[in-house]
Amino acid sequence: MSRYAAFVLFLALGIEIHVSHGIEVSVNDKDGKLCLYANLMVNFSVSYEVADNKNETVEIELPSDAKTAGSACDATSSTLKLNFGEGHSWSMNFAVKENTYQADSITFSYNLSDSTVFPNSVLNETASVTMKPHITDVGLDTCYSCKSKDMIQSDSVNQTLWNVLIQAFVSNGSKSDNLTTCAADVPATTVAPTAAPTPTTTPTTTTAVPVTNSTSPAPPPTTTPTPTLPSPTTGKYSIKPDENSTACLLADFGLRIGFKQGDKYQEMNLDPNGTVASGSCGVNSSELVLVSNSMTIMFTFANDTKKFRLHALNVTAKPSSGVVFSEVNSNLSLWEAAVGSSYMCNKEQNYTITNLLTIFTFDLQVQPFGVKKGVFSTAEECQGDAESFLVPIAVGVALLVLILVVLLAYFIGRKRNMASGYESF
């Protein structure tokens, strides 16, 4: 009997040890009422310098005995600060935004002179990194819940958060049962963001997250997947050097952008109706700027002597959510073709511009340099289009070869007949 009890105790302890990696903390406001609740797991992967210009990488877990000194809340902003070990700390700042709140930043400070964690470190100072968390649009009076792993990268520190349950701005002194679930936890429906963190596969660890009202299903996430958009309308844009000249830059395409803001992925079409085109044509560089009421897109084309290419793209979008999105990549090599010709791609095409931005083009044809008489020059086609033309060409060539073979056979046959005719005579 006592052996059985010991076994049960051992099992219980085993589970306890397994779960205890997480940390659960409560922060009270100045009146002593609960104002911030958090239960989460964090791992850090830190790269630091050791002798001979080498780097060492260590993995650290946020321990469950971290202290909350330095945490605070007021009506519109709050801070969760967790201090652990020999002067290490991790903190997250939250702010209220209309009917939602979000995490604005995460700061991780680590004491490189703590040789038990950072053996042989060359530096002995306390280093600090600030990262942008992916926690946005959390409904007020709801808990943010994300069981999936979310990795946030920076130069020297990667941190992974998982089994996260946080409520900043607790209103009536008790944690809410309503959840705002992160996109990664929602089973994939239509469009999944490309860089979605992989969900955890160990169901046992989910016990670390306090179970919410189990009789009612979790409320739908605030991040509803974007409905599938219709294909964008093809716009015809042109730039003239002056009003009396013909166009020096031509661009026809339908355009869609797909972008990530926090955990939310959305897509928007550029409506050519109401879009104003401006820009300039140069010898080495030409520019096309498209401005609609929901986005501004700047295309910069480069002339590399013999070839041109799309060299830079600056996209600024104003989605209905109101949070402006802006991404730039000035190191592109897209839409390449010979100067004096145009680039064409009729097939739907997608291009990853940055890890947050993708563009989709439809019926694309551009010529940023050497436009003559205001019309496109010979087109150089993209691979996909060229392939679809390759089949009829291959069939044509095969037929031609067949005809030649038949003709050749006919003439050879005729010559032989005639030759044999002379011989038999």
Ligand X SMILES: *[C@@H]1O[C@H](CO)[C@@H](O)[C@H](O)[C@H]1NC(C)=O
Which residue ranges make up the site for ligand X (CB under 6 A)? 43, 45, 47, 57, 59, 61, 86-87, 111, 113-114, 124, 126, 141, 153, 156-158, 160, 176-178, 213, 215-216, 242-244, 273-274, 283-284, 296, 298, 303, 305, 314, 316, 326, 328, 339, 350, 369-370
Helix or strand holding residue 364 (H, E)? strand 357-367
Beta bridge pairs of residue 305: none
Distance, CA of 45 to CA of 43 (rounded, Å): 7
Q: Which is nearer to ligand X, 195 or 405 (CB)?
A: 195
Q: Which is nearer to ligand X, 214 or 417 (CB)?
A: 214
CA gyration radius for the chain? 32
Q: Which is nearer to ligand X, 175 or 365 (CB)?
A: 175
Distance, CA of 381 to CA of 393 (rounded, Å): 15
The closest of 306, 224, 237 to 265, measured between CA atoms, is: 224
Let me know the angle formed at the C-alpha of 284 by 281 and 285, rounded to the nearest 5 degrees. 50
Min CB(260)–ligand X separation in Å: 12
Beta bridge pairs of residue 267: 258
Return the exposure string of 368-383: e unless at least 16 CB atoms fall within 10 Å of the residue's CB, then b.
Answer: bbbbeeeebbebbbbe
Beta bridge pairs of residue 222: none
Q: Which is nearer to ligand X, 135 or 161 (CB)?
A: 161
Min CB(403)–ligand X separation in Å: 37
> In 3-state terms, what secondary structure has residue 345?
strand
- Per-residue HEC secondary structure of 386-416 comes to HHHHHHHHHHHHHHHHHHHHHHHHHHHHHHH
Min CB(187)–ligand X separation in Å: 18
Min CB(111)–ligand X separation in Å: 4
* Furthest-apart CA atoms within the chain: distance in Å: 127
Q: Which is nearer to ligand X, 190 or 417 (CB)?
A: 190
> In 3-state terms, what secondary structure has residue 296?
strand
Q: Which is nearer to ligand X, 43 or 100 (CB)?
A: 43
Min CB(392)–ligand X separation in Å: 22
Let me know the angle formed at the C-alpha of 141 by 140 and 143, rounded to the nearest 5 degrees. 95
Min CB(373)–ligand X separation in Å: 14
* N- to C-terminal Cα separation, the chain: 121
Which residues have C-beta within 8 Å of that of residue 217, sequence separation ≥ 6?
Answer: none
Min CB(398)–ligand X separation in Å: 28
Distance, CA of 368 to CA of 303 (rounded, Å): 9
Which residues have C-beta within 8 Å of that of residue 97, sequence separation ≥ 6?
Answer: none
Min CB(384)–ligand X separation in Å: 7
Min CB(303)–ligand X separation in Å: 4
Here the tokens at position 119 are 């053996």
Query: 292 near 275, Cβ under 8 Å?
Result: yes
Q: Which is nearer to ligand X, 8 or 98 (CB)?
A: 98
Q: Which is nearer to ligand X, 222 or 365 (CB)?
A: 222
Residue number of the CB closest to ligand X reads: 87
Q: Which is nearer to ligand X, 374 or 396 (CB)?
A: 374
Beta bridge pairs of residue 309: 302
Min CB(12)–ligand X separation in Å: 21
Query: 183 near 195, Cβ under 8 Å?
Result: no
Nearest 10 degrees: Cα torsion 29, 35, 41, 42: -60
Min CB(157)–ligand X separation in Å: 6
Q: Which is nearer to ligand X, 38 or 421 (CB)?
A: 38
Q: Which is nearer to ligand X, 26 or 178 (CB)?
A: 178
